[in-house]
Structure 1
């Protein structure tokens, strides 16, 4: 039986690469709210008998206590290392090995991770009725009855501390830490998981975070696969059914989570030079950017592609690499989230060239903010972004990522259908005015690590 399941999984995986979603034909996203308050978003895709499910909760690292940075991440990770016994259902406890074997027997997978804003859990399973029912049942146990074994946490904590010590020897780690802490100040986006913060985390803290955050009324569930609406609703109901909540609790009954302060704008420039014995200097330049829900999102997306997000066709690459040979790679990017994520320009160069590379980057940025792109740059960017749009949706997993992004950020359900039109409408004036509203080149954080 196990060999048959593995053969099916391998076959389906092959087919999934060959059968791409028809992105341009319109993607119908169905949305409804369950009696518990759970928000459900579904895209039916019946080409292959498989489903991908993502459950998101407002429990990311932005809610980590100041002295326990890393709590959300380790909580999500340890939730998959064993489940409790359930005598009422006659279910024995499963340790991490037994749980892994159970998932392997089903040819399915389930696991959690935490990002800055959310804690997410992903289920992938074939939709054959016998397999899907067992996968959903096991996922429901893992989601709502994690054991948080203390002995496993001791092992994982020692491993994390060793990894942190090793990472601290890398110049990139030290440069990024200095940059984030200066850009974000006291905001949780700038928290750094350290040896000390990991040592302060106990399994009781994980259990408390879980009880507060993992509730049906807080769940945003996205599904892509071979399920009807009725089947998807039943799957979500079973995934969340084990959580103890009042029957038919409405979304309004969900207690509000504490507010997280906004990222403060920078009031002045900061220039840090950090000595580090390395062959390359790491150069970072930036500031807080904008939120994901900002109306300038598309103007910033297209503009940054031209500035430094388009690889070898970007203006920064042309000026820093092609014309002057100061760096093999130079880039810029925004990380918009629930709060204003960082805008970053980054490069590596010889320590004796760091000041020149930094000066050129600053000049390119200042000109771009002042004048915006040329019409030729704008058209090339549109062609590349629109031409590559289908690659954002060429698998169930990528499509699920997009649906979950729409659900989490409360974007219009037709967001994917109108994406290319929104990009096509962007003008030079749109980009120039958006960048002038968002960026202040004279008040940015600079970190140069390397050299004496």
Structure 2
């Protein structure tokens, strides 16, 4: 049955990939374009990505990337935020945005009907090219951001997440919260927003992803309309992550449970060890109820409701993190058991049976990540942001299937050093 299921997963995956034909080209000003023509539904998804994430916040202006991106949605040209919102809602289209550490994104989803599509793209172009950053909207959203930051200081998960980033990265650009700090947001001015927009919403490292009911000729026109205005302002790469001393941070909190954040900086995008680390993590803590950590810490010992681990590869070394929540009185026991499980896995690697099951689940589940145009657009956006090879989707299953027990053991022994782990506990007893 396992062999038959594996064959089915590989067959299903190959059918899926055959239907995803990615056209790639570059514009004259260097914007990378990824286009997938799909006429199954009369819908088009457009995502444009910029090298304008929170790691680009100038020192002392933490939060400017986040606020800039959000304000772009709230007024452009002669249109205020309500008029922009109505323009999209009246035609059944949607406008979105957001940032993470490495990038900022603006997107629309619209019907492909010519009149509707034209209105959506015209308004989107206005948002991209002529954000107004109105004084009153800026002041209002600045206050709203400060309120959210204050609120996050009462939430154990937010407290732990921010303290963990600081413990791992210190003064590196990855070390501050994406929304900024109270003291930095208080100092932000409208001029800071405009300067950030002018510098980082440029063609350098920009990409645009279009998936849906368009011909390539139509897509080329859309790309030209949306990106021809972009200037190429050069800026230095995000600095490498230094090897800081591991930190042990304990934060008091009245919550009944203690929250653990545990790990180290580990993996970059396009890392040569990605596949063995990815598969190995699924076995040790990323696979939910089938992972070792869940089996030992939850099922056998009843110390937690859930425990997890994951890698978050970034432009520079992103974190490997183990997390759990447990009663304050049980935190030491839970942490000791996590250490035992991890040390055993690093020393011995997975069993052959664990590896077979992990491959079957990862290969079988991969098509579900790409079963809609929206998901395809999101996945290709990740490829675009980090300059993945165009055949990444085709090679993913093959590369997973190649991973061996020795590959995982070797990668974890070289890359995961538990003596370098930082520990953040919120609500420790």
Q: Are 1:205 and 2:192 counterparts?
A: yes
Distance 1:380 1:235 in 2: 44
> 1:335 is matched with which residue?
312
Report the equivalent of 1:404: 381
Unaligned runs of 5+ in 2: 1-13
Instruction: Look up the match of 1:4.
Output: none
Q: Give the aligned partner of residue 320 of structure 1.
A: 297
1:151 pairs, out of 136, 139, 143, with: 136
Contact 1:306/1:313 (<8 A) preserved:
yes
What is the aligned residue count? 415
* CA deviations over 1:228-255 (Å, ceiling 9, x no partner): 21111100111124x265xxxxxxxx34
Is residue 174 of structure 2 the alignment partner of residue 196 of structure 1? Answer: no
1:382 corresponds in structure 2 to 359
Structure-1 residue corresponding to 2:370: 393
- TM-score, normalising length from structure 1? 0.88
**Residue deviations 1:111-144 (CA, integer Å, cap 9, x gap):** 3211110111112111111111221111101111
Which residue, 58, 66, 70 being the options, matches 1:77?
70
Per the TM alignment, residue 36 of structure 1 is displaced from its structure 2 partner at its CA by 2.2
Query: Cα offset for 1:274?
Result: 2.6
Counterpart position of 1:64? 57
Within a 5 Å distance, the mapping from 1:26-41 to structure 2 comes to: 26-41=19-34
Equivalent pair of 1:277/1:451 in contact (CA under 8 Å): no
The alignment partner of 1:215 has SS state of: coil
How many Å apart are 1:435 and its aligned residue?
Answer: 1.1
2:225 to 238, 244, 254: 238
The one-character-per-residue Cα deviations of 1:271-312 (angstroms, maximum 9, x if unpaired) are 223332221011121000110110111111111100100001
Q: Does 1:175 align with 2:160?
A: yes
The reply to whether residue 120 of structure 1 matches residue 120 of structure 2 is no
Listed as ranges, the matches of 1:282-321 within 5 Å are: 282-321=259-298
Instruction: State the match for 1:138 in structure 2.
Output: 123
Deviations 1:314-349 (A, max 9, x none): 000011001111100000011101011111101011
SS where residue 106 of structure 1 aligns?
coil
Rounded to whole Å, the distance in 2 between the matches of 1:149 and 1:132 is 27
- 2:396 paired residue among 419, 427, 438: 419
1:380 positional shift: 0.7
Query: Aligned pair 1:256/2:241, yes or no?
Result: no
Deviations 1:168-211 (A, max 9, x none): 11122222222111111111111132221211222211111111
SS in 2 for 1:365: helix
Match of 1:354 in 2: 331
Q: Does 1:430 align with 2:407?
A: yes
Residues 344 and 191 of structure 1: CA distance in aligned 2, closer, same or farther (over 3 Å) = same
Unpaired segments ≥5 residues, structure 1? 1-20, 85-92, 246-253
Whether 2:261 is the aligned partner of 1:277: answer no
- Cα separation, 2, equivalents of 1:297 and 1:38: 27
**TM-score, normalization by structure 2:** 0.93
Displacement, 1:22? Answer: 5.7
Distance 2:204 2:156 in 1: 43
State whether residues 168 and 247 of structure 2, in contact with CA within 8 Å, keep that contact through their aligned partners in structure 1.
no
CA apart distance, 1:449: 2.1
CA contact under 8 A between 1:26 and 1:417: conserved in structure 2? no
Task: Kindly report the root-mean-square deviation, in angstroms, between the aligned alpha carbons of the 2 structures.
Answer: 1.7
Q: In 2, distance between residues paired with 1:51 and 1:402? A: 15
**Relative to structure 1, is the Cα distance of residues 26 and 414 closer, same or farther in structure 2, using a 3 angstrom cutoff?**
farther
